[in-house]
Amino acid sequence: MREFNYSLIADNKWDSEILGLVAAIYKEAGKQELYLRQRPGELDKLVEIAKVQSTEASNAIEGIVTTNARIKQLVKEKTSPRNRDEQEIAGYRDVLNIIHEGFDVIPVTRNYILQLHKIMYSHMNNPLAGRTKTVQNYISATYPDGRSEVLFTPLDPFETPGALDRICEEYNGVIGSNELEPLIAIPVFIHDFLCIHPFNDGNGRISRLLTTLLLYRNGFYVGKYISLEAKINKNKDLYYEALSLSQQKWHEGKDDPVPFIKYLLGTILAAYKDFEERVEIVEIKRSALEMVQMASKNKIGRFTKQDIMELCPTLSISSVEGALRKMVAAGELVREGSGNKVEYHRID
């Protein structure tokens, strides 16, 4: 069986890129903490938007979708699931809410991971919910010509419970002893979790929920305000590429987790940068037009109404549309396309 020893990872000599990402994340986390202490009540809207985006994006990565309106209703618990996809979406919402509200009392153990998996399937009849896999699973790719290829073979079912126990023990050991930097330990744990692939279904979604949980437990709260899942979904090719590179020779214990570490740290830092941008826009009382003007200055090249909505979470869609119309009429923006393909760019 694959051996796990996170203490050995602590001896690695990390390159300047990883060290720079870690330092930058700590700097941004400190700035966020200062802002939250000074203005704790101003970011509730960001929290609600991040919950919607996280639930939508993490499920969309797995092909589980519904309409934008239904996603918002489901996340706010204003409706009941109508089909299988919506049942899975509601389950993800439930687990995310549990993590938001009780991360500090959710230990990193196999039993708790199984419980989170069971809750994720609580809106549907899935006899395998909360149980490790019963048959061998594979990570594969299907190409446009219909050809399918196995990219990685995870652990056998009989090895899975023990391996889950081991990575939890190793993670808790190095975190409890301060032996390994948490921002290194987290992606290493998530990478091993994905290589074990402990469930018949739901591995990717649980891995993203665990990422949020581990970040929160180590004092990195950016995922509460900016959706990490949305960032992963937006660049999922990079996610799969980093994971594939790090999985090579994993069974022999000769894998290199660095590509996945760099990918995840880069995603976390990008989320912190987004948080800073959005705070700059919402922290001072401005008119809708002023907020949209400020948001547009943060965009290079073409951007959409949705891009502006993300930067101006306190504004309604009608307010954003009205401000964009005024900016186009005033010659500040150029509008291109029609229908759902409308884009804008600035005239400086």
Quote the number of domains for the chain: 2
Mean pLDDT of 24-47: 86
Whether residues 268 and 294 share a domain: the answer is no
Band of pLDDT at residue 348, cut at 50, 70 and 90: confident
Whether residues 96 and 197 share a domain: the answer is yes
Mean pLDDT of 13-20: 96
Q: Which residue has the tokens 């990918």?
A: 263
pLDDT score of 41 more than 90: no
How far is Cα 348 from Cα 342, in angstroms, rounded to an integer?
A: 20
Question: How many CA atoms are closer than 13 Å to the CA of 238, on its beta-carbon side?
Answer: 13
Whether residues 237 and 305 share a domain: the answer is no
pLDDT score of 35 more than 90: no
Whether residues 201 and 293 share a domain: the answer is no
Residue 142 lies in a domain: yes
Whether residues 194 and 326 share a domain: the answer is no
For residue 334, the domain's CATH number is 1.10.10.10
pLDDT score of 113 more than 90: yes
Which of 281, 297, 318 is the endpoint of a domain? 281
Mean pLDDT of 311-321: 88
Position 337 scores a pLDDT of 94
Whether residues 174 and 250 share a domain: the answer is yes
Structure tokens at 196: 């074990």
Largest CA distance in the chain: 67
By residue range, what is the domain housing residue 315? 288-346
Angle among Cα 161, 166, 169 to the nearest 5 degrees reads: 125
Position 4 scores a pLDDT of 97
Residue 160 lies in a domain: yes
Which of 262, 281, 300 is the endpoint of a domain? 281
Q: What is the pTM of this model?
A: 0.89
Whether residues 274 and 298 share a domain: the answer is no
**pLDDT tens digits, residue range 181-225?**
999 999 999 999 999 999 999 999 999 999 999 999 999 999 999
Produce one character per residue of 218-255: b if its CB has 16 or more CB atoms within 10 Å, e if not: bebbbbbbbbbbbbbbeeeeebbebbebbbeebeeeeb
Residue 7 lies in a domain: no
Position 36 scores a pLDDT of 85
pLDDT score of 315 more than 90: no
Whether residues 271 and 122 share a domain: the answer is yes
**pLDDT tens digits, residue range 255-312?**
999 999 999 999 999 999 999 888 877 777 789 999 999 999 988 899 999 889 888 8
Residue 6 lies in a domain: no
Position 74 scores a pLDDT of 97
**pLDDT tens digits, residue range 138-184?**
998 777 787 888 989 999 999 999 999 999 999 999 999 999 999 99
Whether residues 304 and 207 share a domain: the answer is no
Residue 3 lies in a domain: no
pLDDT score of 314 more than 90: no
**pLDDT tens digits, residue range 46-103?**
898 899 999 999 999 999 999 989 999 999 999 999 999 999 999 999 999 999 999 9
For residue 140, the domain's CATH number is 1.10.3290.10
Which of 253, 281, 309 is the endpoint of a domain? 281
Whether residues 60 and 89 share a domain: the answer is yes
Residue 337 lies in a domain: yes
Whether residues 64 and 201 share a domain: the answer is yes
Whether residues 212 and 89 share a domain: the answer is yes
Report the candidate in 96, 61, 58 with the shortest Cα–Cα distance to residue 75: 96
How far is Cα 120 from Cα 313, in angstroms, rounded to an integer?
A: 27
